[in-house]
């Protein structure tokens, strides 16, 4: 279908670019941004350090691509669940829980995806700013907003809720849990004299808690 617009040279170039990225991905997933140095990376793929700069403007740009494709993974997974036909409550809970689960599997990716922004590429786009809607992160946010709008429509959530606003609040809450788990390996450990809750169950508990904040109160 798609005409082969790429020349052989171009294809070879993309292949090497991809090889660099995949080598970077391996190191980054295991050791994070500090463990990944241009020099080590270059040695891994048998190039000189300077060669990397023929393919990427900077280390930041390289890592940005890793982060973006990581969020693509999250987006796919969440989308898959959002499109299910399971009952709304369950679906909503699974959605947010999945977000956390995937993120926790690649802690360095997730942490870096947020940590880098303030310093680097200038202020990161948020909902309502150009660029956000296009980013994978932005698309994931839109899925979340859609679900909340659906909840309001079917009467599960309070009617005065603004989906955009609520989505940000829910996102913040799930982001917080994720960061906690990512940064504090033993989270959520509990005192010896109390019932120990597994991480998986805590994720569900937290998701329930967050969703409950949106629900109708029949008083």
Partner DNA sequence: TTATTTTAGTGAACGGTGTTTACTTTCTGA
Partner DNA sequence: TCAGAAAGTAAACACCGTTCACTAAAATAA
List interacting residues with a copy of itself (CB under 8 A): 32, 34, 107, 111, 114-115, 117-119, 123-129, 162, 164-166, 168-169, 171-180, 182-192, 194-195, 197, 202, 205-206, 209-215, 217-219
Helices and strands in the chain: count of H runs, count of E runs: 9, 0
Among residues 104 and 115, whose Cβ is nearest to DNA? 115
Among residues 62 and 74, whose Cβ is nearest to DNA? 62
Q: Select the binding partner of residue 59 from DNA, a copy of itself, none (C-beta < 5 to 8 A, by kind).
A: DNA
Residues 6 or more apart whose CB falls under 8 angstroms from that of 99 comprise 74, 77, 78, 140, 174, 178
Among residues 29 and 179, whose Cβ is nearest to DNA? 29
Q: Select the binding partner of residue 105 from DNA, a copy of itself, none (C-beta < 5 to 8 A, by kind).
A: none
Residues 6 or more apart whose CB falls under 8 angstroms from that of 100 comprise 174, 177, 178, 181, 203, 206, 207
Say whether 215 sits in a helix, a strand or coil: strand
Q: Select the binding partner of residue 2 from a copy of itself, DNA, none (C-beta < 5 to 8 A, by kind).
A: none
Catalog residues that contact DNA under the rule CB under 7 A.
7-9, 12-13, 16, 36-40, 46-51, 53-54, 58-60
Say whether the peptide bond before residue 188 is cis (omega within 30 degrees of 0): yes
Please report how close the Cβ of residue 160 comes to a copy of itself at its closest, in angstroms. Answer: 12
Give the pair of three-digit tokens for residue 112. Answer: 């870096």
Q: Select the binding partner of residue 72 from DNA, a copy of itself, none (C-beta < 5 to 8 A, by kind).
A: none
Among residues 47 and 205, whose Cβ is nearest to DNA? 47
Please report how close the Cβ of residue 61 comes to a copy of itself at its closest, in angstroms. Answer: 17
Please enumerate, as own/partner, the contacts of 179-184 that have beta carbons within 8 Å and a separation of 24 or more.
179/110, 179/111, 179/114, 181/100, 181/104, 181/107, 182/103, 182/104, 182/107, 182/110, 182/111, 183/111
Q: Select the binding partner of residue 134 from DNA, a copy of itself, none (C-beta < 5 to 8 A, by kind).
A: none
Please report how close the Cβ of residue 36 comes to DNA at its closest, in angstroms. Answer: 6
Question: How far is the C-alpha of 12 from the C-alpha of 10, rounded, in Å?
Answer: 5
């Amino acid at each position: 279908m798609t005409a082969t617009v790429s020349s052989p040279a171009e294809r070879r170039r993309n292949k090497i670019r991809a090889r660099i990225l995949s080598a970077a991905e391996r190191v980054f997933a295991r050791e994070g941004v500090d463990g990944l140095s241009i020099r080590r990376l270059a040695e891994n793929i048998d190039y000189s350090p300077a060669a990397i700069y023929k393919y990427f403007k900077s280390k930041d740009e390289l890592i940005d691509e890793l982060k973006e494709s990581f969020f693509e993974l999250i987006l796919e997974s969440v989308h898959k669940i959002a499109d299910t036909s399971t009952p709304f409550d369950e679906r909503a809970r699974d959605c947010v829980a999945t977000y956390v689960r995937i993120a926790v599997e690649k802690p360095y990716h997730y942490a870096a995806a947020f940590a880098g922004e303030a310093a680097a590429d200038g202020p990161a786009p948020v909902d309502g700013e150009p660029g956000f809607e296009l980013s994978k992160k932005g698309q994931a946010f839109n899925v979340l907003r859609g679900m909340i709008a659906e909840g309001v429509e079917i009467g599960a959530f309070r009617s005065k809720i603004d989906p955009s606003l609520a989505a940000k609040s829910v996102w913040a809450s799930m982001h917080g849990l994720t960061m906690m788990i990512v940064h504090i390996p033993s989270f959520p450990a509990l005192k010896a004299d109390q019932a120990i809750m597994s991480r998986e169950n805590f994720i569900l508990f937290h998701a329930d808690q967050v969703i409950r904040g949106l629900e109708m109160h029949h008083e």
